[in-house]
C-alpha cells in the first residue's frame, strides 16, 4: 500500500536524505527543542526574591535560616548575612510563620523572664530578674524610637537604707546606636531621660546619662531656662537649628543638580537676640480739637462824682478761655528675638571625572567645573538662603576635587550595560543558538538535492519549465502508454462466455468491478455491440489497473512521472486523452 498523509510525506522526505544530512537535521532539531525547553524552564522556575528580615544579629539570622531549611523554603543572604530574602510570593506567609515561633528574637529579655516560675528562686535572684526585665523593656521601648538602631539600658537601684539621710539615689545609663547619620536633638535626649526616670521609682532625670556608640555623652544636666545660662543655651540651640535648616535646603538643591556626594555645604547664621521695646508719641498740631471753652461776663453800676446831680453809669467786662486738644499717637514696638543679622555660606563642589586611555592604559581624568556652572550654582544658593546684600551676606563656592577614597580599579570598572548582564548573556546565547539553527536548516533546504527530494516527497510540481532532457523523458513515458493501448487489443486471454452472450436469454451481465482483464483474449463483434464493454472502456480500465500496480510497486517513480506530466505543455497533456 502506498504511504499517505503527513507521516508518509515525512518518511519519504527522510528516506531521500543522506546519513550526514540526517545527522545535521536531527542535531539541529534537538538543539532547538533543548533551547526552547531551557528557556521555558528558566522562565517558569525563576524566583524573584524580596526582603524577609533585615538588620539581624548573627545569632538571630542563624536561627531563622535553620527554620527556613526545616520548612524547605529557598532563601538568599545579603549584607554580610544580616538580610534574609525569600520568594516574593511567600514573604508574608513566611514572615507570619517565623514570627509564630518567636523569631526573630530581639536578644533582649523583658518581662517574659517571669513566664517560667521557679519555686526555689531566692530573693536576690528575684530582684536581679526584675532589674533585667525592667532594663529589657526600656531598651525595647527606646529601640522603637525614630533614629535609634539599638539601645541598652543599665539601672542601679540601691538597697533601702535604715535612715533617710543614708539613702542613695537610683541611677541609670543608656547607650544608643543611631541609625545612619541621624543626630538626636536636645529634646529627644531629654525625652529619653524622662522616659527612663519615669519607669524607675525614685530616679530623677538628671541621674540618667545618655551616651552614643562612640562613647560621647550627649545628655546634659537640666538647666533653669529662666537663668542666664539657660537663656544662653536656648539661644545657641536656636542658632544651630537655623543653620541646620538652611544647610539642608542648600544641600538638597545641590544634590539634585550635582548628585549625592558631590557637594558639601556649611551655613553660619548670626542671630540677634536683643529685645528692643519702643514707645513713639506723635503730636499733630494741624488737627487741633476744642477740648473746653469758658466765658466770664461782669456788669457794674458806678456814679460820676464830678457832676451834680451824679449820673449812673453801667460797666460790663467779659472774657473767654478756650482749651484745645492736640492729637497724639503712641506706638509701642517690641522687636522679636532671634532675627537673622547675617548669613555666610561656604560650599565645596566636586568636578567631573572621565576615563581616558593614555599609553594604552585607562586613567581617570579630573575635569573642573566651568565659571558659568559655578555662577549658576551660586545663584541657586543665594535664592535658597534668602541672600540679602544689605545684611552683608556672603556666599563662597569653591570647585575642588573630592577624595572619594575608592580604589582606582573600582572606579575604572564601568557598570555593565544591560546587554552584558549575565542573565541577559545567557538569553542572548540561546537566541543565537536558535538563529544559527534556523540558518543551518535554511542552508540545508537550499541544497539542490534536498529541494529535489522535498519536492518529490511532497508531490509538488516543479515551478519552472522543463528542460529538453526532461521533455524527452516525458515523450518516452507517453510512448510507453501508447504501446500499452495498442497491445491491449491483442491480449492472449479469452472473454468469458457470459460476456459474449449478454443479449441472449440466460446471459449474465457481470459488473465492471469484477472483470478480470487478464482473461480477455480479443474483442469480438458481440463485445463491440455491448454498450458496457467497449474497446475504449476496456483499454482505460486496463491502463488504470497497470498504473495502480505501477504506483504500488514504484511510488517514487510514479510521483516523478505525475510531476513531469503536470509540468509539461498543454498540447502534450491532451495526447493522453
Query: pLDDT of the chain along its 577 residues, tens only?
Result: 444 556 666 676 667 666 766 777 777 777 777 777 777 666 666 677 888 888 777 888 888 888 888 888 888 888 888 888 888 888 888 888 888 877 776 667 666 777 777 777 788 888 888 888 889 889 888 988 888 888 899 999 888 888 888 888 899 999 998 887 778 888 888 899 999 999 888 898 889 999 988 888 888 766 656 666 666 778 888 888 899 999 999 999 999 888 888 899 999 999 888 877 778 777 777 777 777 778 877 776 665 555 556 566 666 777 888 777 777 777 777 777 778 889 999 999 998 888 888 777 777 888 899 999 999 999 999 999 999 999 999 999 999 988 765 444 444 455 567 667 666 777 777 777 778 877 777 776 666 665 665 555 554 444 444 445 555 665 665 565 555 545 544 444 444 444 444 444 444 444 444 444 444 444 444 444 444 456 677 777 778 888 788 787 777 777 777 776 666 544 444 444 4
285 and 142 in a single domain? The answer is: no
210 and 179 in a single domain? The answer is: yes
pLDDT at residue 234 in the model:
80
Number of H helices, E strands in the chain: 17, 15
pLDDT at residue 122 in the model:
82
168 and 196 in a single domain? The answer is: yes
Q: 10 Å Cβ neighbour count for 95?
A: 16
* Residue 453 belongs to a domain: no
Cα–Cα distance list, 136 to 110, 447, 474, 504 (Å): 5, 83, 105, 127
CA–CA gap between residue 368 and residue 351 (Å, rounded): 5
pLDDT at residue 504 in the model:
41
Q: Output the DSSP codes for 75-106.
A: EEEETTTTEEEEEGGGHHHHHHHHHHTT-S--
* Residue 457 belongs to a domain: no
204 and 149 in a single domain? The answer is: yes
User: Phi and psi at residue 137, in whole multiples of 5°?
Assistant: -65, -40
Sheet with 394-399, edge to edge strand ranges: 263-272, 339-349, 394-399
pTM for this prediction: 0.40
Could you tell me the CATH number of the domain that includes residue 203?
3.30.300.30
Q: Which three cell numbers stand for residue 184?
A: 538626636
* Residue 10 belongs to a domain: no
CA 557, 560, 566, 567: dihedral to nearest 10 degrees? -140
141 and 281 in a single domain? The answer is: no
264 and 357 in a single domain? The answer is: yes
* Residue 556 belongs to a domain: no
140 and 201 in a single domain? The answer is: yes
* Residue 254 belongs to a domain: yes
54 and 147 in a single domain? The answer is: no
**Closest residue by Cα to residue 542 from 475, 483, 484:** 484
CA 231, 236, 238, 240: dihedral to nearest 10 degrees? -170
Secondary structure, 3-state, 373-442: HHHHHHHHHHHHHCCCHHHCCEEEEEECCCCCCCCHHHHHCCCCCHHHCHHHHHHHHHHHHHHHHHHHHH
pLDDT at residue 246 in the model:
93
169 and 131 in a single domain? The answer is: yes
55 and 199 in a single domain? The answer is: no
pLDDT at residue 344 in the model:
94
323 and 346 in a single domain? The answer is: no
Number of domains in the chain: 5
286 and 263 in a single domain? The answer is: no
* Residue 29 belongs to a domain: yes
pLDDT at residue 387 in the model:
92
Structural domain harbouring 242? 236-273+334-397
pLDDT at residue 541 in the model:
79
Could you tell me the CATH number of the domain that includes residue 266?
3.30.300
CA 211, 212, 215, 216: dihedral to nearest 10 degrees? -70
**Closest residue by Cα to residue 470 from 383, 567, 542, 553:** 567
Amino acid at each position: 500500500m502506498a504511504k499517505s498523509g503527513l507521516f508518509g510525506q515525512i518518511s519519504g522526505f527522510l528516506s531521500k536524505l543522506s546519513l550526514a544530512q540526517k545527522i545535521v537535521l536531527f542535531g539541529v532539531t534537538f538543539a532547538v527543542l533543548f533551547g526552547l525547553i531551557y528557556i521555558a524552564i528558566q522562565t517558569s522556575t525563576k524566583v524573584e526574591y524580596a526582603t524577609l528580615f533585615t538588620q539581624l544579629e548573627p545569632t538571630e539570622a542563624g536561627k531563622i535560616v535553620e527554620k527556613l531549611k526545616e520548612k524547605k523554603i529557598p532563601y538568599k543572604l545579603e549584607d554580610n548575612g544580616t538580610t534574609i530574602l525569600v520568594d516574593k510570593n511567600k514573604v508574608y506567609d513566611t514572615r507570619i510563620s517565623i514570627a509564630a515561633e518567636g523569631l526573630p528574637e530581639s536578644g533582649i529579655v523583658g518581662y517574659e523572664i517571669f513566664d517560667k516560675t521557679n519555686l526555689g528562686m531566692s530573693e536576690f535572684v528575684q530582684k536581679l530578674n526584675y532589674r533585667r526585665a525592667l532594663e529589657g523593656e526600656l531598651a525595647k521601648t527606646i529601640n522603637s524610637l525614630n533614629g535609634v538602631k539599638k539601645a541598652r539600658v543599665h539601672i542601679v537601684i540601691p538597697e533601702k537604707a535604715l535612715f533617710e539621710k543614708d539613702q542613695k539615689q537610683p541611677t541609670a545609663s543608656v547607650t544608643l546606636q543611631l541609625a545612619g547619620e541621624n543626630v538626636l536633638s536636645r529634646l529627644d535626649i531629654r525625652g529619653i531621660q524622662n522616659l527612663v526616670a519615669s519607669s524607675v521609682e525614685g530616679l530623677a532625670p538628671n541621674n540618667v546619662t545618655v551616651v552614643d556608640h562612640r562613647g560621647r555623652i550627649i545628655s546634659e544636666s537640666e538647666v533653669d531656662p529662666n537663668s542666664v545660662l539657660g537663656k544662653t543655651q536656648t539661644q545657641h540651640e536656636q542658632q544651630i537649628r537655623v543653620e541646620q535648616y538652611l544647610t539642608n535646603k542648600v544641600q538638597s538643591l545641590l544634590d539634585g543638580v550635582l548628585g549625592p556626594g558631590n557637594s558639601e555645604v556649611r551655613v553660619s547664621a548670626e542671630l540677634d537676640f536683643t529685645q528692643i521695646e519702643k514707645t513713639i508719641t506723635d503730636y499733630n498740631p494741624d488737627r487741633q480739637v476744642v477740648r473746653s471753652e469758658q466765658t466770664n461776663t461782669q456788669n457794674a453800676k458806678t456814679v460820676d462824682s464830678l457832676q451834680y446831680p451824679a449820673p449812673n453809669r453801667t460797666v460790663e467786662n467779659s472774657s473767654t478761655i478756650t482749651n484745645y486738644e492736640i492729637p497724639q499717637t503712641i506706638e509701642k514696638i517690641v522687636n522679636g528675638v532671634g532675627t537673622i543679622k547675617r548669613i555666610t555660606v561656604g560650599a565645596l563642589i566636586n568636578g567631573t571625572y572621565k576615563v581616558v586611555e593614555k599609553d594604552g592604559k585607562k586613567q581617570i581624568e579630573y575635569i573642573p567645573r566651568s565659571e558659568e556652572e559655578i555662577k549658576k550654582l551660586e545663584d541657586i544658593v543665594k535664592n535658597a538662603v534668602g541672600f540679602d546684600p544689605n545684611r552683608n551676606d556672603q556666599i563662597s563656592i569653591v570647585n575642588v576635587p573630592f577624595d572619594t577614597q575608592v580604589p582606582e580599579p573600582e572606579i575604572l570598572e564601568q557598570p555593565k550595560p544591560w546587554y552584558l548582564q549575565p542573565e541577559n548573556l545567557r538569553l542572548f546565547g540561546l537566541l543565537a543558538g536558535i538563529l544559527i539553527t534556523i540558518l543551518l536548516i535554511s542552508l540545508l533546504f537550499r541544497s539542490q538535492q534536498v529541494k529535489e527530494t522535498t519536492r518529490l516527497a511532497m508531490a509538488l510540481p516543479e515551478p519552472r519549465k522543463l528542460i529538453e532532457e526532461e521533455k524527452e523523458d516525458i515523450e518516452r513515458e507517453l510512448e510507453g502508454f501508447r504501446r500499452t493501448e495498442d497491445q491491449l487489443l491483442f491480449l492472449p486471454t479469452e472473454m468469458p462466455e457470459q460476456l459474449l452472450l449478454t443479449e441472449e436469454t440466460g446471459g449474465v451481465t457481470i459488473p465492471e468491478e469484477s472483470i478480470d482483464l487478464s482473461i480477455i483474449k480479443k474483442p469480438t463483434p458481440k463485445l463491440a455491440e455491448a454498450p458496457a464493454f467497449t474497446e475504449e472502456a476496456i483499454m482505460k480500465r486496463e491502463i488504470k489497473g497497470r498504473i495502480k500496480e505501477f504506483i504500488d510497486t514504484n511510488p517514487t517513480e510514479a510521483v516523478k512521472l505525475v510531476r513531469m506530466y503536470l509540468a509539461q505543455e498543454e498540447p502534450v497533456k491532451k495526447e493522453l486523452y
